[in-house]
Structure 1
Amino acid sequence: MNFKPILLTAGVLFSANFFAQKMTYPKAIKGNQTDTYFGTAVADPYRDLENDSEPTKKWVDEEVAFSQRYLSQIPYRQDIVKQLTDIWNYEKIGAPFKEGDYTYYYKNNGLQAQSVLYRTNNKTKTTEVFLDPNKFSEKGTTSLSSLSFNKKGNLAAYSISEGGSDWNKIIILDAVTKKQIDETLVDVKFSGIAWQGDEGFYYSSYDKPKEGTVLSGMTDKHKVYYHKLGTKQSADQLIFGGEKTPRRYLGAYLSEDERYLIISAANATNGNEVFIKDLKKGGDFVQINSGFDINASIVDTDGDNLYIFTDKDAPNMRLVKTTIQNPAPETWKDVIPETENVLGISGGGGYFFATYMIDAIDQVKQFDKNGKLIREISLPGKGNVGGFGGKKSEKELYYSFSNYITPGTTYKFNADSGKSEIYQKPKVKFNPEDYVSEQVFYTSKDGTKVPMMINYKKGTKLDGKNPTILYSYGGFNVSLQPSFSVVNAIWMENGGIYAVPNIRGGGEYGKKWHDAGTKMQKKNVFEDFIAAGEYLQSKGYTSKEYMALSGRSNGGLLVGATMTMRPDLAKVAFPGVGVLDMLRYNKFTAGAGWSYDYGTAEDNKEMFDYLKSYSPVHNVKEGTCYPSTMIITSDHDDRVVPAHSFKFGAELQEKQKCENPILVRIEKNAGHGAGRATDQVISENADLISFALYEMGIKKLNK
């Protein structure tokens, strides 16, 4: 890299917050709201911050100004912005895909706010821009959420998100001329776009909350509609959901041959029902499985045969086969059976590709439709693999490979011969040979062995003085696998350590690992995270004064709960877009769907007591010294509403005993995270890195 590291030798480090000052925080309106659960009164003094009221808006503006004033005093903040901008500025090209007479691919020249979709005419070989999301809005804050073509490739529909909102609009094009051919559909949420022939498509949405309640109103009855081209959205036909078959989450998709319309229906983020309609023969939907005790999805069809990917009787997943005539679970037969390792499935070129996760590292095997092993795919190293998907007729497939010290590289793969070749290798200013990525196993409080990846620059001394970010998630069956980030590259280049434990609640070891971090076992997640921090400190990687806790969304809860349980564990904390009020999370937008992982305060007294015992908002104690904290949220986050972060920030600012600052960093015109403009992402991460180093006592750049 062409910049100098910013860390100084140990001799010039000194205690954090060298511009120490008495913090005078903005004052939020404090009320006397009290809720009663099973005879227990619970105060909620900052309830007003849930509302989009004028006092809340004023407080938000004051918090934004306060955070910016504090961050602006960090002498090397702009230098870190420059470093991030420099390493970010490389060409990024996505894997190509064919639709009709064109081959499409996404490309970002380096610092464009959003990636641009190009296409090449397969006959004339001419290339042109198909969609440029940078022109959707002046500041690049409107992003492309999804894109779908009909089977012929002559029609396309794409959805956009404005300011990061989960509420989308769908725009319909003649894909050949690129002209809009229908009215724009509005108020669409958590939806795919499933074309049926040339006449229309299926999509999903909710009734939109009333004006002023977009960030608070519940969205709990999903509906699948069919939009026929040339008709008004108000005339769209309700296909499934609503009052007749109420479900919180509905997804509609068609089989590749368009014979079957498939509905996945769920009330939580785990467990679903599957319904299927044979469009060729007509008739009603057939329910394949009932209840929400299993996860199942139809991943392929072949005539009357249905291929289902499921965890029924297989906590680590399996691929089964059945028929449309009798698709009940009792008829399911293994195609790729369960093993001791978690299975993932993709299909392309007439084959299935099984990705096995072994201690969070991927192994890929190729099978035919009968489950016969064709080959194990030779990968370039130990890491994370994605791809191998495509149409049955396409023999050229693509996959990506990366790990914490290897930038993501795209490979072209011939499905028949098994030959791989590099398709696109990014020219990142980063040399993997200069870094170490090692996996260790540590013991949690209850004796459970937990894996962790630790990444740092070669030659790092384990003297306890290395700035370290401990990052994790721990929920919703999400697996944290090795992947490259230019932000982490800057952190490591400057002498930092980046550590990621694969704690319970994730999917790294299947359903049992996930369930071990849910409901009345949720504290296992926090204990695993705490044990990871203690391991790093005991082995000399870092110490309390040089450790930062970081996580987003459910990971924001992880950080919030950890810092209130163990305020002495780390110097810095970054709860990002977190679920922080565990007594009321299910009252907002789609929050009730998270109850499989969390349980709710209304379930029973035992569940209420358990939630209250770790809910970050309810466990900030007067007279406690909490870590230097930067709470990260966005004003348009309608998934994990910003009120979580607002209330937690107000509690911390009111009760913080010591001079460690409590910042509430609020991004304007942004949502939960997806689709943000490049400059927004760079700005946030520059603030995160500079705040962490500053609070750890780093005084100035190494000139």
Structure 2
Amino acid sequence: MLKLFFKLSANRRSHQTIKKTLLSQPLDHLTMSRPNASVNRPTDLSRPSVEESNARIVYPEARKDNKAEEMIHDYRIRDVYRWLEDPDSQETQRFVNAQNNISQPFLEKCEEWESINNKLTKLWNFPKYGCPMRYGSYYYYFKNTGLQNQSVLMQQETLDSPEVIFLDANSLSADGTTALSQKTFSEDGAFMAYGLSESGSDWNKIRIRRTKERTDFPETLEKVKFSNVSWTKDNKGFFYGRYSGQDGKTDGSETKQNENQKLYYHRVGESLDLDTLVAEFPEHPSWRFQTDVSECGKYLILSISHTVRDNMLYYADLKPDEAITSKLEVKPIVDKFEADYDYITNEGSKMYFHTNKDAPNYRVVVIDFENPAEANWSTLIPEHEKDVLEWAKCVNGDKLVVCYNRDVKNILQACELHTGKLIRQFGLDIGAINGISGKKKYSEIFYSFSSFLTPGIIYHYDFTKPVEKPKVLRETSLNLDGFDRDNYSVEQVFYKSADDTEIPMFIIQRKRDVVEPRPCLLYGYGGFNHSLMPSFGITGLMFMDTFDGVLAFPNLRGGGEYGVEWHNGGRLFNKQNCFNDFQAAAEYLSQNNYTTKDRLAIQGASNGGLLVAACINQRPDLFGAAVAQVGVMDMLRFDKFTIGHAWCSDYGNPNEREHFANLFKYSPLHNVHIPLNPNQEYPSTLILTADHDDRVSPLHSFKFAAALQEAVRHSEYQLNPILLRVYTKAGHGAGKPTRMRISESTDIITFLKKTLNVDCVNL
């Protein structure tokens, strides 16, 4: 959520990566849930009685503070579980322990868990590689031998030279919970500034490493969050953002709002205390900024945002021969929040930007900083009528590598920088580019391709050899006996939502002569302009192989699959469209014989966790099981915690009456119901969160789980379980060590095995 989510690997524009990180991170695609009945139930006749069900699970009674009532915009709001917003209180800790004392035994103390965990561990154990990146005298790439908790950053002098370990995050903590969260090299490649995240938190500690000696400078920069690093071209230092005024603990378990980010300049080898404050906006505490130093080194470009959508453009003149010792004079180019602008490259004062200004499907424009009025802008690559221009990258001096999204499939091309003329088409299968590296001063690029059935193929191409085709540098092979992707099918269907809008959906399953209902995992997101592209997920493959199951990925409105208009179709007052699209996907799968209700599980994370929670409130009759991971559940107060205020661009501002009324209609916490007939029974539901999630605070999941359990406690119609699992030393998803990922996937698959109607188990 916030555009600060998705890490695209390698070098895919640093501040675009940061912008897409602020809310959610869809995690390793697939996982699910269902907690009260510990036996498979192919038909209603096999369901345990209410007495039997209650004998297995007795939900903890969370205290209800009946005094927690207030009037907001003429609405009387009772927030009886607000005390769960304090993560440090003993009462909250007792609640968490009581929930884990139910969910952990249900999930983990059974033969299924051990068998599933063993199979998942074997399946996970294959080598994984990232795109090589060239900086100065070396190439770098990430490598994981299979089960290492964190991938290791390797170094080579040439692509054929012996590899050496450059930075191994596994050596930084015994339990693998310290992760390398970002890295940026100086222009000459002599230094690397890198960020470390602990226990999954968004907080970073920045260190600096000498690339030749592979040793660190003594300084550590702290209180860094939602910030990239931009080196000056003299290689002496870099710009970065810091929440220097944030008091109290900053370890990811706090709920305090993140405000008043300031921009600093750090000189290599000096103490944090000597950093120069170069820009701040105290009158706008919610503003954040990402920076780029122009290719020529003469400009500092500031991308300023306050939500997940739209940014302003400012810049400051840099004088490469003069030290930066005081605030810079920043001047506006775009002073309104009305579109997205991402810096690509520049030639002199002419700056190239990827933008959706007057182009819902994006275009590339040129802005001359010496004559920046919008009337003087020129379009280099115009907007396509249907294809969405996802990003552009300058390489080989005068080339642009551009990536389009066409009906949820990536297209990769190369164009001339000065004319925009297409000069090369890179052939791709149905799938997505999940990593790319290259620089303007280098002729070669590396890009990584993946799909639902392909873990990863890394290609190498050199623009100085235009006759040659891209070469396969590495192709990942799976460690799964008998797996042959030719035995599986990937089809894209288009189904109608409630308002007759055509929604695309990928369906993946084993090839079969006759379509018959199978266990199905339906995964959704639908928000923050994020496109849910074809990508490989180990949990999903495990689901298909173990249960002869079906995977389904609908591309809901609110995402970015068809540009700004698709995003607008599922945000603010149109947010209900996202839920309608997901529910229509479930109906399509059942009506077309892919699955049945008792075999259908839904899953979503972050904004997708909200999706799952809202849908089980609105249409519990459609689903057999639901897994809601790190979801936003209290839509009336989301803006009050950590970075939640930035999500108002997608959800609306609860402080405004009209938005409050809309949010109240679908807020999961405020729409929990008591099942009064069989059709209102909630599906088996597994709610997952973590104690160091400072993107979507676990308080959302705590309050929702407490309300759900209270609502179903005495209902004669509620036989399905409602479980809350809270993980420790983990956050929103990024940087989670392999052993935790495997354990979480095991929990989900075990939950599905115990609660869905599965008639085939291959363990």
User: TM range, normalised to the smaller chain?
Assistant: over 0.9
8 Å CA contact retained: 1:583, 1:601: yes
Q: How does 1:512-531 map to 2 (within 5 A)?
A: 512-531=565-584
For 1:69-118, what per-residue CA distance to the aligned partner results, in whole angstroms no more than 9, with x for missing partners?
A: 11135532221111211111111121111222221111100000000111
Residue 474 of structure 1 pairs with residue 521 of structure 2: no
Residue 587 of structure 1 pairs with residue 640 of structure 2: yes
The letter for the 2-side match of 1:455 is I
8 Å CA contact retained: 2:199, 2:730: yes
1:388 shift after superposition: 4.6
Structure 1: distance between partners of 2:503 and 2:750: 30
Residue 205 of structure 1 pairs with residue 242 of structure 2: yes
Tell me the number of residue pairs that the alignment of Structure 1 and Structure 2 aligns.
691
Moved more, 291-300 or 617-626: 617-626
Structure 1: distance between partners of 2:47 and 2:149: 34
Flag the 1:166–1:644 CA change in 2: closer, same or farther, 3 A: same
8 Å CA contact retained: 2:416, 2:423: no
Counterpart selection for 1:426 from 476, 485, 488: 476
1:34 aligns with 69
Structure 1: distance between partners of 2:573 and 2:452: 33
Residue 652 of structure 1 pairs with residue 691 of structure 2: no
Residue 398 of structure 1 pairs with residue 446 of structure 2: yes
Structure 1: distance between partners of 2:490 and 2:762: 26
8 Å CA contact retained: 1:248, 1:593: no
Structure 2: distance between partners of 1:576 and 1:124: 42
Structure 1: distance between partners of 2:433 and 2:423: 16
The letter for the 1-side match of 2:599 is Y
Flag the 1:602–1:405 CA change in 2: closer, same or farther, 3 A: same
1:583 shift after superposition: 0.1
8 Å CA contact retained: 1:145, 1:160: yes
**TM-score, structure 2 length as denominator?**
0.87
SS in 2 for 1:275: strand
2:587 aligns with 534
2:697 aligns with 641
1:122 shift after superposition: 4.4
SS in 1 for 2:439: coil
Residue 548 of structure 1 pairs with residue 601 of structure 2: yes
Structure 2: distance between partners of 1:558 and 1:676: 23
Structure 2: distance between partners of 1:244 and 1:655: 44
Flag the 1:245–1:146 CA change in 2: closer, same or farther, 3 A: same
The letter for the 1-side match of 2:532 is L
Flag the 1:181–1:266 CA change in 2: closer, same or farther, 3 A: same
Structure 2: distance between partners of 1:327 and 1:415: 32
Structure 2: distance between partners of 1:373 and 1:37: 56
Counterpart selection for 2:671 from 619, 637, 644: 619
Identify which of structures 1 and 2 has the higher relative contact order when contacts are C-alpha pairs closer than 8 Å and 6+ apart.
2
Structure 2: distance between partners of 1:603 and 1:460: 55
Taking only the aligned residue pairs, the percentage that are identical comes to 38
Counterpart selection for 1:437 from 470, 478, 490: 490
2:370 aligns with 325
The letter for the 2-side match of 1:621 is H
Counterpart selection for 2:751 from 674, 686, 691: 691
1:257 aligns with 296
8 Å CA contact retained: 1:580, 1:644: yes
Flag the 1:185–1:528 CA change in 2: closer, same or farther, 3 A: same
* RMSD of aligned alpha carbons: 2.1
The letter for the 1-side match of 2:562 is Y
Counterpart selection for 2:200 from 146, 150, 164: 164
8 Å CA contact retained: 1:553, 1:579: yes
The letter for the 1-side match of 2:367 is T
SS in 1 for 2:595: coil
8 Å CA contact retained: 2:664, 2:670: yes
2:6 aligns with none
Residue 610 of structure 1 pairs with residue 646 of structure 2: no
Structure 1: distance between partners of 2:159 and 2:124: 34
SS in 2 for 1:208: coil
Counterpart selection for 1:240 from 259, 262, 279: 279
Q: How does 1:103-502 map to 2 (within 5 A)?
A: 103-122=139-158, 125-196=161-232, 197-206=234-243, 207-211=245-249, 215-243=254-282, 246-280=285-319, 284-340=329-385, 341-344=387-390, 345-350=392-397, 351-416=399-464, 417=466, 419-428=469-478, 429=480, 430-459=483-512, 461-464=514-517, 466-494=518-546, 495-502=548-555
8 Å CA contact retained: 1:631, 1:664: yes
Structure 2: distance between partners of 1:297 and 1:72: 46
2:25 aligns with none
Structure 2: distance between partners of 1:700 and 1:322: 60
1:481 shift after superposition: 0.7
Structure 1: distance between partners of 2:514 and 2:732: 37
The letter for the 1-side match of 2:557 is R
Moved more, 548-557 or 95-104: 95-104
The letter for the 1-side match of 2:573 is M
Unaligned regions of 5+ residues in structure 2, if any?
1-39, 323-327
For 1:40-68, what per-residue CA distance to the aligned partner results, in whole angstroms no more than 9, with x for missing partners?
A: 21111111111021110121122122111
Moved more, 677-686 or 34-43: 34-43
8 Å CA contact retained: 1:468, 1:546: yes
The letter for the 2-side match of 1:404 is F
Residue 25 of structure 1 pairs with residue 59 of structure 2: yes
For 1:645-687, what per-residue CA distance to the aligned partner results, in whole angstroms no more than 9, with x for missing partners?
A: 0000111111123121111111110000000000100111111
Structure 2: distance between partners of 1:593 and 1:580: 16
For 1:372-419, what per-residue CA distance to the aligned partner results, in whole angstroms no more than 9, with x for missing partners?
A: 434342424121124454111222211111211222211111224162
